[in-house]
Structure 1
Amino acid sequence: IFLTAHADLDMAISVFTKGAFHLLKKPVDPLTLLQTIEEATAKDKNARSESRYSNFDNRWNLLSQRERQVIELAMQGLMNYQIAERLNLSERTIESHRFNAYKKLGISAIEDIRRLRND
């Protein structure tokens, strides 16, 4: 949001091509300024949310089928040894799949996935 006392067409074109949300000419009505700030904040929040979903979906698609399977079981609350028993694998193998999945997803705990999906 740009505030200026001397707006002209060249300035307007310049600030909008550089990513400005709005250009307001001084003196600015306080209510107009507040409304513009709220609109800009809402737009930014929506853009970040969409980006977060897109980034998560892209990272999720990087997981192997087995890594997805392990993560989905972990999200159900199963411990590594329980996942290993269910999939007939060693607990060490499950730990390895889980570690690789966390790395690809850019997370450090299973709760991070829940938070990303709920944002």
Structure 2
Amino acid sequence: MLPDNFMVHLVDDEEVVRKSLAFMLTMAGFTVRQHQSATDFLAAAPTIQQACLVTDLRMPDLDGVELLRQLRRLQVRIPAIVVTGHGDVPLAVEAMKAGARDFIEKPFEEESLIEAINRIASELEAEVEIENTDAIRSRLDRLSGREKEVLSGVVSGLPNKTIAYDLNISPRTVEVHRASVMSKMAAGSLPELVRMALAAGFLAQ
């Protein structure tokens, strides 16, 4: 069940993409408002409540990261999902440092975006934190030294081959450590792992 007056705000400079997403989300039962630029959204942001922001990362006037930074400066708290192109994980990590709640890589399944928005709606409805920081730190403490090194590379957006080269181990070994980190941290996705690292102070903001 969605909170009263919950609205999804879409920010994308490409009209065709924006309208396509708006139609899909409207059909899924959401109330949607479209914004053709980050500047357009910022003008309306201070009056927005009970909402979720879905923004593209790469835009001509202000990119998604700078949009989130400006929202933080304005002390406007709107949970955000950023949509990023393939290979833009480091930029997505920067967006999460700036306050994004989640990121989705193109191309994505429609259901992935709908699920991400529903998670945010549920959090707003419950008005509770997703994770307890002490619990996250406890999980971090259970990681080995090597796993923490791999975690550092993963949440910084580095590919397995680069992490392997930096640590002088094989890519396959990185994959094994990465799987172990995801399991020990109880993270269901890379965005969730980044959120945990930020919450615990493992990843500098």
Q: CA deviation at 1:75?
A: 1.3
In the TM superposition, 1:1-20 aligns within 5 A as none
TM-score normalized by the length of structure 1: 0.54
Q: Would the alpha carbon gap of residues 118 and 56 (structure 1) be closer, same or farther in structure 2, given more than 3 Å must change?
A: closer
- Structure 2 gaps, min length 5: 1-125, 201-205
C-alpha distance in structure 2 between counterparts of 1:73 and 1:86, whole Å: 9
Question: Could you tell me which amino acid in structure 2 is paired with residue 104 of structure 1?
Answer: K
Kindly report the root-mean-square deviation, in angstroms, between the aligned alpha carbons of the 2 structures. Answer: 2.4
Question: Could you tell me which amino acid in structure 2 is paired with residue 101 of structure 1?
Answer: V
Q: Does 1:92 align with 2:156?
A: no
Determine the structure 2 residue equivalent to 1:23. Answer: none
- More divergent stretch after superposition (106-115 vs 49-58): 49-58
TM-score normalized by the length of structure 2: 0.33
Which of the two has greater strand per residue?
2
User: Which structure would you say has the larger RCO, counting Cα contacts within 8 Å and 6 or more residues apart?
Assistant: 1
Q: CA deviation at 1:51?
A: 6.1
* 1:21-53 CA-partner distances (Å, limit 9, x unpaired): xxxxxxxxxxxxxxxxxxxxxxx95xx649611
Q: Would the alpha carbon gap of residues 86 and 51 (structure 1) be closer, same or farther in structure 2, given more than 3 Å must change?
A: closer
Which of the two has greater helix per residue?
1
- Structure 1 gaps, min length 5: 1-43
Aligned residue for 2:169, secondary structure, equals coil
In the TM superposition, 1:18-33 aligns within 5 A as none
Determine the structure 2 residue equivalent to 1:74. Answer: 154
Identical aligned residues as a percent: 28
C-alpha distance in structure 2 between counterparts of 1:52 and 1:71, whole Å: 19
Question: Could you tell me which amino acid in structure 2 is paired with residue 74 of structure 1?
Answer: V
C-alpha distance in structure 1 between counterparts of 2:130 and 2:154, whole Å: 25
Q: CA deviation at 1:74?
A: 1.1
Determine the structure 1 residue equivalent to 2:194. Answer: 114
Determine the structure 2 residue equivalent to 1:32. Answer: none
Q: Would the alpha carbon gap of residues 111 and 50 (structure 1) be closer, same or farther in structure 2, given more than 3 Å must change?
A: closer
Aligned residue for 1:78, secondary structure, equals coil
Q: Select the structure of larger CA radius of gyration.
A: 1
In the TM superposition, 1:37-52 aligns within 5 A as 49=129, 52=132
Aligned residue for 1:73, secondary structure, equals helix
Q: Would the alpha carbon gap of residues 118 and 64 (structure 1) be closer, same or farther in structure 2, given more than 3 Å must change?
A: closer
Q: CA deviation at 1:77?
A: 1.1
* 1:77-118 CA-partner distances (Å, limit 9, x unpaired): 100111011111100000000101110000132211222335
Q: Does 1:61 align with 2:151?
A: no
